[in-house]
Each structure stands twice: as C-alpha cells, then as structure tokens.
Amino acid sequence: MPYRRIIAVVIILLLLLIPPAAMAKAKKARVKAKPGPPAPILKSAVVVDYNTGATLFAENPDQMIPPASLTKIMTLYLTFEDIQQGRVRPADLVTVSGKAYATKGTTMFLEKGEKVPLIELIKGISVASANDAAQAVAEHLGAGSAADFVARMNGKARELGMTRTRFMNPHGLPAKGQLTTARDMMTLSRAYLNRFPECLTIHSMREYSYHNKTQRNRNRLLAHYPGADGIKTGFVCASGYNIIATAKRDNVRVMAVVLGARTPKLRVSETERLLDVGFEKANGGRKQAAVGEDIQPDRDGGSFSAADPSSLPAPLQAGRIHVLTPNLGSR
C-alpha cells in the first residue's frame, strides 16, 4: 500500500477512536470563544469650562503619556512670554542652524543658514506643527542652546503646577522620559489662552504658506466643528493621536484635551463628542447651537507680514504684547 494511503488510513482510524461527545464539546467550545475587549478609543481626556475652570468630563486624567507635538504649546508659551517682556520682537530674524534644518518629522522646509522672521516660525509651529521651526526658536531664545530652553520649559511647567510633566525637547519628537498628562496639558492650555489670547488668531488659521509650500492646519476641527478656533494636535507611535481643542459659543468657551486616540478620525469624532458634552454641561444641560466669535481670527490664513509689523495682530506687533489682567468670565 502506498505511503500516503497508509497515512490516510491511520488518520481515519484515529478519528474513529475519538468519542463523539468529546468532538461535540470541542466544537461547542470553539463556538463559545469570544474575542477580547476592543482597544480603547482613547487613553485619557479632560474637558473644562474655560471661564470657570470647572471640570466637565475626565477619563484617566493623570495617566502619563508622551505629549508629542502638544509639547509645542510650551515652546509657544515661552516665545510669547519673551515677546511680551521685550526680550525679542516678532520681526527679529532667526538663523536656522544645521540641527534645526536636520530635524525630522513635520517641517516648514527651512534651509540651513536661512534667516527667518520669528513671527513666521511661530506660524509654522502653530499651523504646520513644524519641528524645524520649534528647534530654531528654542536655540534662538536659549541663546544658542536648545537644552537651556528646555530647562526653561520644565521650570515653567513647575511654576504652572504641571506636576507630572517632563519635557526633553522643544518639539515633541520621541524622547525617553518625555511625558505629560491630560490634566497637566489642560493646566498649560488654560494658562496659555488666559495670558496670550491673541494666539488664537494664529492657531485658527486654516493653512499656512512658506517657501511657496502651503500646508493645511492639522487641527481638522477648525473646518468641521462650530466655534472651534484652536489649538494643537500631536502624534507619536507611543502616544497615539493627541489634541488640545477649544471652541466658543456665545459667552461659553469649552476646552478639551484628548490623548491617545487610536486614529486621526477618532481623534476628531471623540473630541467633537466631548466638546458637545462640555457645552451641554456648561449650559446646565441645555444644548447650545449659536456660535459666537472670540478674537476675530483670520480664517483664511497667511494675511500677516513680518515685513509690515502693522499687519500683525496688535498684541503681536513689536513691543506691544502686554500682560492682560485675568478676566476669565469675559472670554
């Protein structure tokens, strides 16, 4: 008898020896097997009424997660602070170093040795999430040392009460030990908007052009969510898709921090859902449809000229950024 036929006969005999009850039990077990729980849609989130500071929603708010490009909000905070205090001006020229030029990820396509007005780098960071611009700004404000600037970032974080945050670079590219929480990012974001409300004029730009290259704002809520006017998105593999979002309707401003969404689409849909929840809770359970205006943001983008400081938003003109008396109820 051929070898293959012998094997077939042996298999048939073995199957006949298995009790029918055992085969039925195995089949039943296979039918009952269920897939494991789905991966969470997001890792962490906080929603706050900006005017009152009341927390409207929280899920794992203290889970430590890489901030990704949300790091750039602290970079921008210190940049606006230096402008406000007269240490630099929006029209100042920043020389792009070799390290800034070589910075990976999203960029505004800076050239090594190029001299770029500071205001253009601010727009590149805010709209295009440009890592090269963030590195260039950090070196410029750190007197040539990005490490010194990062030390300032961590000092400011402690000053603001961000107790579970550690920055390792100015742009948010992966770095060991660079972590934050949704609660800490909300603390930073409220302080940022309170002290520099004019920043929304830039964060709400739909697109930005530099070197004849136009890039869309990575915050897709600007185009889809009524009243949305900021602030920043971020992504690295270790965190997932992050966002700090804000929207204003009538006299109510709601802010949401979402960390670790599974996909870009879920980042948008979940943030929209959480903002809806925030507005409903902020209005005592009443849904709010009317959309108000905040800082009169430039929705078309690209209307500012560093060569013509008068075209900048008034607080961004050289020497004109000022400390605003906190009045959260009016914004």
Backbone angles phi, psi at 19, to 5 degrees: -60, 140
Q: Is 136 a domain residue? A: yes
Q: Is 62 a domain residue? A: yes
Whole-angstrom Cα distance, residue 66 to residue 300? 32
Q: Is 7 a domain residue? A: no
The overall longest dimension of the chain from CA atoms, in Å, is 99
Whole-angstrom Cα distance, residue 331 to residue 252? 8
Q: Is 19 a domain residue? A: no
Catalytic residue among 44, 126, 129, 239: 129
Catalytic residue among 43, 44, 69, 189: 69
State whether residue 1 is helix, strand or coil. coil
For residue 123, indicate whether it is catalytic. no
Question: Residues in the chain, how many?
Answer: 331
Q: Is 35 a domain residue? A: no
Element (H, E) at 276: helix 264-282
Domain housing 161: 40-325
For residue 69, indicate whether it is catalytic. yes
Count of other CB atoms within 10 angstroms of residue 147:
13
Q: What is the pLDDT of residue 325?
A: 28
Q: Is 257 a domain residue? A: yes
Q: Helices (H), strands (E): how many in the chain? A: 11, 9
Count of other CB atoms within 10 angstroms of residue 243:
29
Whole-angstrom Cα distance, residue 196 to residue 23? 71
Q: What is the pLDDT of residue 25?
A: 54
Q: CATH number for the domain including 133?
A: 3.40.710.10
DSSP β-ladder status, 44-49 and 252-261: antiparallel
Q: What is the pLDDT of residue 8?
A: 62
- List residues bridging with 235 in a β-sheet: 241
State the DSSP string of 194-240.
HH-TTHHHHHT-SEEEETTEEEE-S-THHHHSTTEEEEEEEEETTTE
Whole-angstrom Cα distance, residue 206 to residue 222? 7
* Contact yes or no for 326/194 (Cβ under 8 A): yes
Whole-angstrom Cα distance, residue 44 to residue 27? 40
Q: Is 239 a domain residue? A: yes
Divide the 331 residues of the chain into consecutive groups of 10 and give the mean pLDDT of each group: 60 59 52 59 96 96 98 99 98 98 98 98 98 99 97 99 99 98 99 98 97 96 97 98 98 98 97 97 66 35 36 42 30 29
**Residue-wise pLDDT tens digits, 272-287:** 999 999 999 998 765 5
Q: What is the pLDDT of residue 291?
A: 38
Q: Is 106 a domain residue? A: yes
Q: Which amino acid is at 3?
A: Y
If you ran DSSP here, which 8-state letter would residue 243 be given?
A: E
CA distances (Å), 249 to each of 172, 223, 276, 292, 304, in order? 31, 15, 11, 4, 26
Count of other CB atoms within 10 angstroms of residue 178:
21
Domain count, the chain: 1
For residue 145, indicate whether it is catalytic. no
If you ran DSSP here, which 8-state letter would residue 36 be given?
A: P
